[in-house]
Amino acid sequence: MKVGNQTIVFKNKPKIIGSYSVAGEKEGYGNFKEYFDYVLKDDKFGEKTFEKAERKIIEHTIFKAIDSANLTVADIDLLVSGDLLNQIISSSFTARHFDSTFIGLYGACSTMAESLAIGACMVDAKHFINVACATGSHFSTVERQYRYPLELGNQRPPVSQWTVTGAGCSILSLKGKSNIRISSATFGKVTDYGIKDANNMGAAMAPAAMRTIITHFEDTKSKPEDFDLILTGDLGKLGSEIFLDLMEHHGYKLGNNYNDCGQMIYNNNQKTFQGGSGAGCSAVVLNSYIFKKLQEGTFKKVLFAATGALLSPISSQQGESIPGICHAIVLERSDD
Amino acid sequence: MDVKERNKKYNEYVDAKVPKTKNFPTLIYAYLVGGVICMIGQGIQDILLALFPSLTLEDAGAWMLIILIFFASLLTGLGWYDRIGVFAGAGSIVPITGFSNSIASPAIEFKKEGIIFGLCVKMFSIAGPVIVNGVAISVLVGIVYLFL
């Protein structure tokens, strides 16, 4: 049921019956090493190219998530997935291995929230029974598509973020056992505040996050204090500061219940400047740390708002500013 | 509020908030590493002149450049040059070794897309502008020199 302008409240509250996360080697040394289901020992995952490795990581994650839900591949009737590569090859090539219908998404780093929001709509309306929502990214494929060759001896600017190698997948269904449910979703609007620096994606995405989260509060008549955690996707340290300033400017003062996946994933010694980014960033944090904390009961209600910078290398070279997007979902713990 | 004005204000706010590169340590690192690379070059040239007394200074200089280019490519292939670059910045980009790195690194990166369309096409994707400008300016200078 749609409430307000952009929010859908789910009558049946789809359950997250399975999840899996695979993180890269560097991410394995970060803050969530004990939460990831699997940490890669080799960033190529035994493949010849990084593109093939990214594909294999996403594929592996989806298979394992299906296992964790005690289902078989044949039980999945819809796969919703996206990634950062041109023509979303990692997702669509992965879908070759699944005999399910497939919806390919491009929401940049917001893909995890976008896929869960779409998946939850499908499950809630009983159009599909079991839906797999997945995304992932790889540092080395993204570097060469958006930036420079890996071995080039250049310096990264202080505003930059480090693309996370990793993938996450969640299985949604109305059947099965789970105490994590999606209660509502707010689809975002493309927001562009005129930031042109492709390195400073946090600043480009912060207004989109602000807009979606405020809309969610207004649509559902909720307050920041209603949530144990308000989690943005990959704004990074600088982007999070900007986001908090923007929220305060609009009359919402967020307290200790706010955090950002990009800011949390790496530790301070890992020299990533503003933290993590990439579709895999929020995907691995959500499917490891957040779900485990919801299961344990540390968190009861989480607003997960993944953010994406919808730029391409060509648009940046042509001097265009960076449009941002943010989709949000509410995760609730319920004992059933 | 008007969108243009909103964006202008937001950009001003972000610019004020963005952390800047620290000039002092980065300049020192660049100076030191750049200086060391030049010293190595001078050393190679001196050794060549001592070993082969028949070499002219110009020829020794050319051989020295070839040796530096070779070792920079080798270090790129071994995955070490980018680590020096993170620390040294312009110190390892400006000398000829940086030029070598900027050709070797895309060559390695795009080899997977094939020798012709990958390696050969992409090899000059970073160094290309330097070559184009070098050739264009030398033609210009040549024309000026003709009339002097």
Angle made by CA atoms A93, A95, A100, in degrees to the nearest 5: 160
Q: Hey, is the C-beta of A89 within 8 angstroms of any chain B C-beta?
A: no
Question: Looking at the domain assignment, is residue A217 inside a domain?
Answer: yes
Ranges of chain A with pLDDT below 50: none
CB contact under 8 A, B82 and A157: no
First to last CA, chain A: 23
Give the nearest partner residue to A159 out of B18, B84, B93, using CB atoms: B18
Q: Which of B18, B84, B109 sits opposite A150 (nearest CB)?
A: B109
Same domain membership, residue A131 and residue A41: yes
Distance from B105 to chain A by nearest Cα, in Å? 5
| E strand or H helix that includes residue B142 | helix B128-147
> A194–B20: do the CB atoms touch at under 8 Å?
no
**A6 belongs to a structural domain:** no
Q: How many domains does chain A have?
A: 2
Residues A152 and A186 in one domain: no
End-of-domain residue from the set A173, A197, A214: A173
* In a shared domain, residues A165 and A280: no
Are A230 and A260 within one domain?
yes
> What angle separates helix A236-249 from helix A201-220, to the nearest 10 degrees?
40
Q: Where are the domains of chain B?
A: 3-109
A294 near A180, Cβ under 8 Å?
A: yes
- Does A90 share its domain with A215? no
Residue pLDDT, tens place only, B62-110: 999 999 999 999 999 999 999 999 889 899 998 999 999 999 999 999 9
A280 found inside a domain:
yes
Residue A137's identity, in one-letter code, is S
Domain at A53, CATH number: 3.40.47.40
Residue A206: inside a domain: yes
Of B10, B85, B109, which has the smallest distance from its Cβ to A155's Cβ?
B85
Same domain, A38 and A169: yes
Closest CA to A22 of A49, A55, A51, A47: A55
Mutate to test the interface with B, among A55, A86, A147, A155 (most CBs of B within 10 A): A155
A209's CB contacts (< 8 A; 6+ apart) are A232, A233, A235, A243, A305, A307, A324, A326
- First-to-last CA distance in chain B? 60
Residue B127: the pLDDT is 92
Q: How many residues does chain B have?
A: 148
- pLDDT tens figures, A112-153: 999 999 999 999 999 999 999 999 999 999 999 999 899 998
Q: Are residues A208 and A78 in the same domain?
A: no
Contacts of A194 in chain B (CB under 8 A): 7-8, 10-11
Alpha-carbon distance A193 to A213, whole Å?
16
Residue A103 forms contact with B (CB below 8 Å): no
Q: Which of A148, A153, A193 sits opposite B7 (nearest CB)?
A: A193
Please check whether residue A5 lies inside any domain of the structure: no
Measure CB to CB from residue A153 to each of B7, B93, B110 and give the nearest one: B93
CA dist., res. B132 & res. A309, Å (int): 33
A264 in the same domain as A146: no
CA distance A240 to chain B (A): 12
Beta bridge partner(s), residue A125: none
On whether the CB atoms of residues A85 and A280 are closer than 8 A, the answer is no
Residue A8 covered by a domain: no
DSSP string, B111-127: GGG-IIIIIIHHTTTTT
Taking only the tens place, the pLDDT of each residue in A313-334 is 999 999 999 999 999 999 999 8
Do A94 and A51 sit in the same domain of this protein?
Answer: yes
Q: Decide which of A120, A144, A173 is a domain's last residue.
A: A173
pLDDT value of residue B55: 92
Residues making up chain A, counted from first to last? 336
Percent share of chain B, pLDDT over 90 = 88
Is residue A107 located within the same domain as residue A194? no
Asked whether residue A2 is assigned to any structural domain, the reply reads: no
Say what the pLDDT of residue A1 is. 85
CB contact, 8 Å: B14 with chain A? yes
Looking at residue A336, what is its pLDDT?
A: 60
Q: Which domain holds residue A97?
A: 14-173
Give residue for tokens 């909720």.
A222
Contact A149 B19 (CB under 8 A): no
pLDDT above 90 (res B23)? no
Regarding whether A311 and A162 lie in a shared domain, the answer is: no
Separation in Å, CA of B51 to nearest CA in chain A:
33
Flag whether A3 is in a domain: no
Q: What is the pLDDT of residue A116?
A: 97
End of a domain among A153, A173, A193?
A173
Distance to chain A for B70, nearest Cα, Å: 15
Determine the distance in angstroms separating the CA of A155 from the nearest CA of chain B, rounded to an integer: 5
Q: Where are the beta strands (DSSP E) in A162-257?
A: 162-163, 166-173, 180-186, 229-232
